[in-house]
Amino acid sequence: MKQKVLFVCTHNAGRSQMAEGYLNACYADRYEAFSAGTDPTAVNPSVVRAMGEIGIDISGQRSKEIAEFDEQEMDVMVAMCEGGVCPFFPWANEEIHRSFPDPAALSGTDDEILEGIRRIRDEITGWIDETFGER
């Protein structure tokens, strides 16, 4: 039976979207990933582009409010917040708090921002490989 993993960040626009897409693409045999935000906005198009560069299409994903998952049991909830308010989610059997930089906080030219998103993507995917690939 697949473990259910919920990735949560503030806007559900970047970090948690990358994590959801990557875990579902690479470890779908063992995990079913979801993502949500405490204050959802819209999926960042540059994040979609950066994930596409590694062969993962997240263009069909949407930003979701964490309340959409109320009373849905999750095996793991990963709070990806960097400072700020970390969510309370009582339906998770295990909570992991792992901070990653927020792509929305990047500044510079479009190319500089995309390069920053690539670094965050690589940090998140490497952490997922180490954390969930070993289970």
For residue 81, what pLDDT is reported?
Answer: 77
What does 28-76 look like in DSSP terms, one character per residue?
TTTEEEEEEESS-----HHHHHHHHTTT---TT----BGGGGTT--EEE
> Among 9, 18, 58, 117, which one carries the catalytic annotation?
9
Residues 11-31, mean pLDDT to the nearest whole number:
97
> Among 81, 106, 124, 128, which one carries the catalytic annotation?
81
Is the pLDDT at 135 greater than 90, yes or no? no
For residue 83, what pLDDT is reported?
Answer: 63
Q: Are strands 3-9 and 74-79 parallel, antiparallel or unpaired?
A: parallel
Average pLDDT, the chain: 93
Burial of 12 (0-12, 13-18, 19+ CB in 10 A): buried
Starting at the earlier edge strand, list the strands of the sheet with 31-37: 31-37, 3-9, 74-79, 92-97
Residues 67 and 100: their CA atoms lie apart, in Å, by: 22
DSSP character for 127? H
* CATH architecture type of domain 3-132: 3-Layer(aba) Sandwich (3.40)
Is the pLDDT at 8 greater than 90, yes or no? yes
Domain boundaries, the chain: 3-132
Is the pLDDT at 5 greater than 70, yes or no? yes
- Answer yes or no: 26 catalytic: no
For residue 34, give both structure tokens: 């979801």
Interval 51-110: pLDDT, tens: 999 999 999 999 999 999 999 999 999 999 766 556 678 899 999 999 999 999 999 999
